[in-house]
Amino acid sequence: MSALPPKPRTPHVITLVAQPLPTSTLERAKTCLQAHGSSVQGEKWLSQGRALDVYCDLRSEQAEPLTEALWSALPGVDLAVMPQRNRRKRLICADMDSTIVVGETIEFMAEVLGVREKVAEITERAMRGELDFTQALVERVRMLRDLPAERLSDIAASLQYHRGGRRLIATMKKQANALAVLVSGGFEPIAEVVREHHDFDRQVSNVLGTTGEGNLSGTVHLPVVDGDRKLEIFQSSIHDHRIPANLTMAIGDGANDLPMIRAASLGIAYKGKPLVRQATRFQINHTDLMTALYYQGYEDSEIERVDWS
């Protein structure tokens, strides 16, 4: 029996991003391409000195080993290897805590009651995939019992955001008419503030129980927004808005983000836990959320200039 012919090569693009991009980056990328039987066919600056597109031909199965070779050759550089077609996505589903927001909002709530360290330990293990997310959430929420619900407004008002998040959402909505969904294992009052601040089209998050005195009861309404629920929201967004699966993006950092990251055509681990980084070759480890725009081929001149904060 004769061997099957190799799959044809298709136009691919390697996007390289750093702050700033080292001068040796292109030459090192060329060396990696040559080792994989390809070569540079063109290049274009997306952001001068910061983000560079390098064009080449590859077979689809070469993208993953080339990515790993580039990671080894270019430490400190965020990069993506993907087909040139269908780069600009029409759906973004984004996690909130440690993705859009700096830190974990449940820990800010726990700090008010003096139990932050206990909650943070459970959160870290859950995000690494070591604990069942629902059980871990129920356990942490129980520790928040008697927290005045009004304190959530203060926490929401004091949030810090990862750089580039507002520009990411604004640009995808303006340039690609994208649907932007905030899907969070965090809690409704805070997630609603984040939705409004970043102009997400909708948000889905957990709902906390309260007492008649206006304090948290230590309970969370079921079903919780776990990985399966995030995937469900991702899939329903595709279906309801008739968005092709190859025009979808999901971004997050924790194990509960993995189902939607795996389902998206551009599934990005943003400063992700090891389990998440192992699951996708699309990662942002060194730069900011603007890099998700560069991966889609946006140039600085196309990016909406909304405030960073």
Q: Which domains does the chain have, with CATH numbers?
A: 10-83 (3.30.70.260), 91-302 (3.40.50.1000)
Per-residue pLDDT tens over the stretch 102-130: 999 999 999 999 999 999 999 999 988 89
pLDDT at 1 over 60: no
Residue 17 host element (H or E): strand 10-17
pLDDT at 94 over 90: yes
d(CA 283, CA 276): 9
Averaged pLDDT for residues 23-28: 96
**Length of the chain measured in residues:** 309
pLDDT at residue 5 in the model:
60
SS3 of residue 173 by DSSP:
helix
Which residue carries 């449940």 as its tokens? 106
Residues labelled catalytic: 95, 97
Q: What is the DSSP string of 99-155?
A: TTBSS-HHHHHHHHTT-HHHHHHHHHHHHTTSS-HHHHHHHHHHTTTT-BTTHHHHH
**Whole-structure pTM value:** 0.95
Per-residue pLDDT tens over the stretch 62-72: 999 999 999 99
Whole-angstrom CA distances from 272 to 118, 127, 188, 269, 278 are 21, 9, 23, 5, 9
pLDDT at 4 over 70: no
Residue type, 171: T
Q: Which of 1-10, 147-156, 260-269 has the lowest mean pLDDT?
A: 1-10
